[in-house]
């Protein structure tokens, strides 16, 4: 069975500071990995995904994530936080055999002026 753990349910950064949101997964087969963002009162939007190939993945709004198989991690980073980045972020994993996505618990990002 697959599972996802997001370290830190709340992360607070200053505007312009580095954003680092942590995600670790477990999967019995090579996984597909995703980061989604949820703004208040909205559904989830895809930020980026890793399927195969390059392990450093770039997404929208300046975010990127690196797949590290040896560490079973897929941490999300952004060099410089913007106020508009305040949202909840979800890491998710699916196995290559199907579309069942397993989500982490979510990390609420606050950006302080």
Partner 1 sequence: NAGVTQTPKFQVLKTGQSMTLQCAQDMNHEYMSWYRQDPGMGLRLIHYSVGAGITDQGEVPNGYNVSRSTTEDFPLRLLSAAPSQTSVYFCASTPFRGGQSPLHFGNGTRLTVT
The footprint of partner 1 (CB under 8 A) covers 4, 6, 9, 31-32, 34, 36, 41-46, 49, 51, 90, 94-106
H-helix or E-strand spanning residue 49: strand 44-50
Q: State the CB neighbour count (10 A cutoff) for residue 5.
A: 14
Residue closer to partner 1, measured from CB, 53 or 113: 53
* Region for residue 12 given its phi and psi (left: phi exceeds 0; alpha: psi -120 to 50; beta: otherwise): beta
Residue closer to partner 1, measured from CB, 34 or 63: 34
- Please measure the distance between the N-terminal and C-terminal CA atoms of the chain and give it in whole angstroms: 41
Q: Is 41 exposed, middle or buried (0-12, 13-18, 19+ CB in 10 A)?
A: exposed
Residue closer to partner 1, measured from CB, 15 or 105: 105
Residue 59 beta carbon to partner 1: minimum distance, rounded to whole angstroms? 11
Residue 71 beta carbon to partner 1: minimum distance, rounded to whole angstroms? 21
Residue 16 beta carbon to partner 1: minimum distance, rounded to whole angstroms? 29
Residue 81 beta carbon to partner 1: minimum distance, rounded to whole angstroms? 23
The SS3 call for residue 62 is helix
Residue closer to partner 1, measured from CB, 3 or 14: 3
């Amino acid at each position: 069975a697959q599972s996802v753990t997001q370290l830190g349910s709340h992360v607070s950064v200053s505007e312009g500071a580095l954003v680092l949101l942590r995600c670790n997964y477990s999967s019995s087969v090579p996984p597909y990995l995703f980061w989604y963002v949820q703004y208040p009162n909205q559904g989830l939007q895809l930020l980026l995904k890793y399927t195969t190939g390059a392990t450093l993945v770039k997404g929208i709004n300046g975010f990127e994530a690196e797949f590290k198989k040896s560490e079973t991690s897929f941490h999300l980073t952004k060099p410089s936080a913007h106020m508009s980045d305040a949202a909840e972020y979800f890491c998710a994993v699916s196995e290559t055999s199907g579309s069942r996505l397993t989500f982490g618990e979510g990390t609420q990002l606050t950006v302080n002026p």
